[in-house]
């Protein structure tokens, strides 16, 4: 396999986790809620995925089970932040701690066991013959296409080309105005926080059912936090979130390939690349695209609980 | 006490660069299990004894920490009347380690094992609790009540290197490394030296992933190595990430810590198997009997560390050829004899000179053919 194909394969594989989790967080933040529990949700999704496939050997079922568990946790979080209006940052941290802890407790029985079934790669006919991109992108498992193509395009269309999407964004920008226009603010927030949490858990399941594929305590290793950071870089846009996940995967892959090829760059520097990348991700857009400042800004009501009687 | 260079830092404790103290370098080279002048600590009745273990990871990791936990279980079995045993997982390399071990002391521990060196964070407690015996795995310091222990993993690694020399077609070996620390230098060097006895042109490419446990990074590193032409992967990780990659891509892989062949039965060649059970039972026994003195212990091959049973796809003659080397080493022969050159061609070990166990333990340079650790 040549350099570029190898690089892209690794990038796509590693990027998918971040892309899916970041997409979920985009949905959550667009309706004005910050969910810092992504790390914990991913851990729960990862352990749910593997626990399910040990009982029923179907990776799709494992993935669905993870989505359901993620949604349940998301509902609890949404109940606390949207209806009770508790502090979102604290609730998110609590969710991370609880999710990671619970996952490692449940995972004790599953640690040290390869996943009995995994998502097998599907070669897309014709397209997989394309040089470079073919083996890297069109010879992957089915989740892959869901994460990189179907979900981002669907949510992008929903968010920017439908009335429902307009309502959804209005809730995140100005809930009082949205409320006055007859949009059910709390229900909207509750729904998308739940969906976002489900996707985060799905990203965890992708880890144990396709990428790594086995459970071990600490398997998420901080990717949840990176996903939260990517949302800002992506300007709260679904397709951008997916692409930034991929870009992050690419930068990570570059570090490994550089070491494998013995490039005359210090390994320490190559390992630093993802983090330098993150810094660049945050700084470059601010400096380079001053005009896009408004377009890339966070939803105005982000992290602000909505009280109808305080309008 | 002398400050070591960065590469002499302990296995786990790489991050705190100021923490390594290299008192062992002041001792006569090659003398192991040496005791200090101070007398042994007084005996403790088994019914009143409290033994503590602090681990770097979770005991379910199926690797390093799991193996030490087995040691604790063996101690419990050998001394069923122990008052209590204390065990804390995921002790971080920070002041939290100091708190953990101080807690052990305040709960009345008579003997404490730090199964993954926490350096100065432990030593602070050691100095304040002279009546408690401390043992630090992969430590470097020796005090009146502190000793250290480790494994001569370079011998089974050399044996596996011989097998790799036979099995690898491209002669390009890949290595998933954690940090550029002494155990990794010893591991990579021994592995390539073994392989070069069969294939003199073999090379070893390492990727440093800055973690002992990161399945995602190990998976990517393994993929990158294979993409680059490696057809035999080795590494020093506490999980099976790159073994699963090797299985998927149809290349060979050798592992560390425990038998995890079920993650990749076709790719699995062998593993550096570690076993601390007898050592822990011996040390606790000595502490209870009042004969424990701090010492430096490097457990030999066959006495705490060994290669695992060969994988199902390893041809019989390859296993046999490698096992002949193992027998030779068990018989007292050492493969680590000069002349050895580093990657710049500088002679580091003179012809005919044999490296001592302590030199192997503190190895801090790459032999010719190993790339990626030093830049």
Domain membership flag for residue A93: yes
Q: Considering its fold, how many domains does chain A have in total? A: 1
Residues B101/B113, Cβ–Cβ less than 8 Å: no
- CA pair distance B240, B218, nearest whole angstrom: 8
Q: How far is CA A245 from the centre of its chain?
A: 8
Collect contacts of B68-76 with beta carbons under 8 A, ≥24 apart. B68/B113, B68/B115, B68/B137, B68/B276, B70/B275, B70/B276, B70/B277, B71/B113, B71/B276, B71/B277, B71/B279, B71/B280, B71/B281, B72/B280, B74/B277, B74/B278, B74/B280, B74/B281, B75/B51, B75/B280, B75/B281, B75/B284
For residue B289, pLDDT beyond 70: yes
- A88-107 and A38-55 helices, crossing angle to 10°: 30
pLDDT band for B21, please (50, 70, 90 cuts): very low
Q: Mutate which of B65, B170, B188, B220 to disrupt the A interface (most A C-beta within 10 Å)?
A: B220
Range of the domain at A44: 3-109+121-305
Interchain contact A261–B (C-beta under 8 A): yes
Please tell me the predicted confidence (pLDDT) of residue B40: 81
Interchain contact A115–B (C-beta under 8 A): no
Residue written as tokens 């290669």? Answer: B307
Interchain contact A212–B (C-beta under 8 A): yes
Q: In this structure, what token pair is assigned to residue A110?
A: 């599953």
Q: Mutate which of A13, A256, A275 to disrupt the B interface (most B C-beta within 10 Å)?
A: A256
* Residues 151-190 of chain B whose Cβ lies under 8 A from any Cβ of chain A: 174, 180
Domain membership flag for residue A114: no
pLDDT band for B19, please (50, 70, 90 cuts): very low
Please tell me the predicted confidence (pLDDT) of residue A311: 54
Interchain contact A26–B (C-beta under 8 A): no
For residue B237, pLDDT beyond 70: yes
Instruction: Note the pLDDT tens digit of each residue in A162-200.
Output: 999 999 999 999 999 999 999 999 999 999 999 999 999
Instruction: Note the pLDDT tens digit of each residue in A244-272.
Output: 999 989 988 888 888 888 777 777 787 77
Lowest mean pLDDT segment, chosen from A59-68, A90-99, A233-242, B366-375? B366-375
Residues B224/B230, Cβ–Cβ less than 8 Å: no
In angstroms, the separation between the Cα of residue A228 and the nearest Cα of chain B is: 18
Instruction: Note the pLDDT tens digit of each residue in B311-355.
Output: 999 999 999 999 999 999 999 999 999 899 998 889 999 999 999
Closest residue of chain B to A260, computed from CA coordinates:
B225
> How many CB atoms are closer than 10 A to CB A219?
29
Interchain contact A260–B (C-beta under 8 A): yes
Q: Do B205 and A262 touch (CB under 8 A)?
A: yes
Q: Do A256 and B62 touch (CB under 8 A)?
A: no
CA atoms in the 13 A half-sphere facing the CB of B153: 30
Please tell me the predicted confidence (pLDDT) of residue B12: 45
Q: Do A6 and B228 touch (CB under 8 A)?
A: yes
- CA pair distance B75, B280, nearest whole angstrom: 7
Please tell me the predicted confidence (pLDDT) of residue B236: 92
Domain membership flag for residue A268: yes
What would the mean pLDDT of B298-319 be, rounded to a whole number?
94
Q: Do B216 and A17 touch (CB under 8 A)?
A: yes
For residue B174, pLDDT beyond 50: yes
Q: Do B208 and A217 touch (CB under 8 A)?
A: no
pLDDT band for B375, please (50, 70, 90 cuts): low
Q: What is the DSSP letter of B67?
A: H
Residues A25/A267, Cβ–Cβ less than 8 Å: no
CATH number at residue A263: 1.10.3470
What would the mean pLDDT of A14-41 be, rounded to a whole number?
96
Instruction: Note the pLDDT tens digit of each residue in B23-42.
Output: 344 444 334 444 454 568 88
pLDDT band for B298, please (50, 70, 90 cuts): very high
Please tell me the predicted confidence (pLDDT) of residue B1: 36
Interchain contact B210–A (C-beta under 8 A): yes
Residues B134/B102, Cβ–Cβ less than 8 Å: no
Count Cβ–Cβ pairs < 8 Å, chain A vs chain B.
Answer: 117
> Is the predicted ipTM greater than 0.90, yes or no?
no
Domain membership flag for residue A310: no
Buried b (16+ CB within 10 A) or exposed e, B42-57: eebeeeebbbbbbbbb
Please tell me the predicted confidence (pLDDT) of residue B73: 96
Domain membership flag for residue A116: no
Interchain contact B62–A (C-beta under 8 A): yes
Please tell me the predicted confidence (pLDDT) of residue A83: 94
Where do the DSSP E strands lie in B80-195?
A: 84-88, 111-114, 133-137, 146-151, 172-177
pTM of the model as a whole: 0.78
Q: Pairing between strand B172-177 and B203-208?
A: parallel
Domains of chain B are 6-152+276-299 (3.40.50.2300), 154-273+305-371 (3.40.50.2300)
Lowest mean pLDDT segment, chosen from A103-117, A229-243, A247-261, A276-290? A276-290
């Amino acid at each position: 396999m040549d350099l570029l194909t190898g690089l892209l394969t690794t990038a796509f594989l590693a990027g998918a986790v971040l892309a899916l989790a970041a997409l979920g967080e985009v949905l959550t933040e667009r309706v004005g809620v910050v969910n810092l529990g992504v790390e914990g949700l991913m851990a729960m999704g990862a352990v749910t995925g593997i626990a399910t496939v040990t009982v029923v050997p179907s990776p799709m079922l494992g993935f669905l089970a993870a989505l359901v568990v993620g949604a349940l946790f998301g509902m609890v979080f949404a109940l606390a932040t949207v209806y009770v209006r508790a502090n979102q940052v604290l609730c998110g941290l609590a969710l991370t701690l609880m999710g990671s802890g619970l996952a490692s407790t449940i995972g004790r029985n599953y640690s040290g066991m390869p996943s009995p079934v995994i998502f097998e790669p599907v070669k897309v006919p014709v397209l997989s013959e394309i040089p470079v991109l073919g083996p890297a992108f069109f010879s992957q498992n089915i989740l892959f296409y869901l994460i990189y193509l179907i979900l981002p395009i669907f949510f992008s269309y929903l968010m920017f080309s439908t009335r429902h999407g307009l309502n959804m964004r209005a809730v995140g920008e100005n809930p009082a105005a949205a409320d006055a226009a007859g949009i059910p603010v709390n229900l909207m927030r509750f729904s998308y926080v739940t969906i976002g949490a489900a996707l985060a858990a799905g990203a965890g399941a992708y880890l144990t059912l396709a990428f790594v594929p086995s459970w071990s305590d600490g398997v998420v290793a901080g990717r949840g936090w990176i996903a939260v950071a990517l949302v800002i870089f992506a300007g709260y846009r679904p397709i951008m979130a997916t692409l930034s996940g991929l870009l992050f995967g690419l930068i990570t892959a570059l570090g490994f390939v550089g070491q494998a090829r013995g490039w005359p760059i210090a390994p320490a520097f190559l390992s630093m690349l993802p983090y330098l990348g993150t810094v660049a991700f945050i700084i470059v857009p601010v400096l380079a695209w001053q005009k896009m400042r408004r377009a890339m800004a966070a939803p105005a009501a982000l992290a602000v609980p909505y009280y109808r009687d305080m309008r | 006490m002398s400050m070591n260079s960065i590469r002499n830092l302990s296995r786990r404790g790489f991050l705190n660069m100021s923490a390594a103290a290299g008192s062992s370098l002041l001792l006569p080279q090659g003398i192991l299990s040496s005791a200090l002048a101070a007398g042994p600590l007084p005996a403790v009745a088994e019914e009143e004894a409290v033994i503590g273990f602090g681990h770097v990871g979770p005991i379910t990791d199926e690797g390093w920490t799991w193996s030490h936990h087995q040691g604790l279980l063996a101690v419990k079995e050998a001394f069923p009347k122990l008052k209590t045993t204390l065990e804390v997982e995921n002790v971080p390399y920070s002041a939290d380690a100091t708190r953990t071990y101080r807690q052990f002391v305040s709960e009345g521990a008579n003997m404490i094992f730090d199964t993954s060196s926490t350096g100065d964070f432990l030593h602070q407690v050691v100095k304040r609790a002279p009546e408690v015996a401390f043992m630090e795995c992969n430590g470097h310091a020796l005090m009146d009540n502190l000793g250290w222990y480790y494994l001569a993993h370079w011998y089974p690694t050399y044996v596996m290197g011989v097998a790799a020399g036979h099995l690898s077609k491209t002669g390009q070996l890949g290595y998933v490394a954690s940090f550029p620390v002494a155990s990794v230098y010893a591991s990579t060097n021994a592995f390539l030296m073994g392989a070069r006895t069969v294939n003199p042109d073999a090379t070893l490419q390492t990727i440093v992933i800055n973690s002992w446990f990161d399945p995602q990074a190990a998976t990517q590193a393994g993929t990158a190595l294979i993409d680059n032409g490696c057809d035999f992967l080795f590494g020093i990780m506490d999980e099976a990430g790159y073994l699963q990659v090797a299985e998927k891509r149809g290349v060979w892989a050798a592992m560390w810590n425990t038998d995890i062949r079920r993650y990749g039965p076709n790719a699995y060649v062998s593993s550096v198997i570690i076993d601390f059970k007898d050592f822990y039972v011996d040390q606790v026994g000595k502490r209870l009997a009042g004969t424990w003195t701090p010492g430096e212990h490097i457990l030999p091959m066959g006495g705490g560390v060994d290669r695992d049973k060969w994988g199902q796809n390893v041809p019989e003659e390859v296993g046999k050829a490698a096992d002949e080397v193992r027998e030779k080493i068990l018989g007292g022969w050492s493969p680590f004899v000069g002349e050895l050159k580093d990657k710049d061609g500088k002679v580091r070990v003179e012809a005919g000179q044999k490296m001592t166990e302590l030199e192997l333990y503190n190895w801090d340079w790459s032999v010719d053919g190993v790339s990626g650790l030093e830049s």
